[in-house]
């Protein structure tokens, strides 16, 4: 997952929102210069519900600390996955978040269609503390 061959510090990956405690306020540490990745992986059956990819674009609460960073993703995955990268620019804290899309939130509140799988998801949220 290197940014198209650019020299960089080792990346720091943030966990998928559905891997234990989805949506709980976890904290991750990174150093200035590292790339922090958010991997949003659609659980099996979520798109079968007919509402598209569940999460909106990931964003940083403070782009001066964690700035969006474009990477080349040529991976092939068995489930839909979206990668977002943020470059740690200076010391501080920022919250990375990716809320569920409005369509997916509405689908979770509405009665499910007969035979449609019930998939309960949470928005992604994690605080990243950047140090020197």
Residue 120 belongs to a domain with what CATH number? 2.60.40.2020
CA 84 to CA 126: how far, in whole Å? 13
In a domain, 7, yes or no: no
Confidence at 41, pLDDT banded by 50, 70, 90: confident
Tell me whether residue 104 is in a domain: yes
- Share the mean pLDDT of the chain: 76
What's the structural domain count of the chain? 1
Structure tokens at 34: 């590292």
Burial class of residue 114 (count of CB atoms within 10 Å of its CB; 0-12, 13-18, 19+)? exposed
Percent of the chain beyond pLDDT 70? Answer: 63
pLDDT on residue 28: 86
Give domain status of residue 83, yes or no. yes
pLDDT for 64 equals: 97
- Name the band, by pLDDT with cuts 50, 70 and 90, for residue 116: low
Q: Which domain holds residue 100?
A: 12-131
Average pLDDT of the residues in 49-58: 79
In a domain, 97, yes or no: yes
CA 61, CA 64: separation in Å to the nearest integer? 9
Supply the pLDDT for residue 118. 67
Sheet holding 12-14, edge to edge: 12-14, 35-41, 81-88, 66-69
Give the pLDDT score at 10: 55
C-alpha torsion 53→76→117→101, nearest 10 = -10
pLDDT at position 68, please? 92
At 74 the pLDDT is: 61
Residue 5 is assigned to a structural domain of this protein: no
Average pLDDT for residues 66-95, to the nearest whole number?
A: 82
């Amino acid at each position: 997952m290197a940014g198209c061959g650019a020299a960089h510090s080792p990346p720091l990956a943030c966990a998928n929102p559905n891997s234990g405690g989805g949506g709980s306020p976890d904290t991750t540490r990174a150093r200035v210069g590292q790339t922090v990745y958010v991997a949003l992986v659609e659980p099996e059956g979520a798109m079968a519900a007919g509402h598209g990819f569940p999460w909106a674009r990931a964003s940083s609460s403070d782009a001066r600390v964690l700035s969006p960073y474009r990477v080349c993703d040529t991976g092939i995955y068995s489930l839909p996955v979206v990668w977002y990268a943020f470059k740690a620019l200076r010391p501080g804290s920022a919250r990375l978040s990716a809320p569920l899309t409005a369509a997916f939130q509405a689908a979770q509140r509405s009665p499910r269609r007969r035979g449609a799988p019930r998939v309960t998801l949470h928005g992604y949220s994690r605080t990243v503390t950047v140090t020197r």
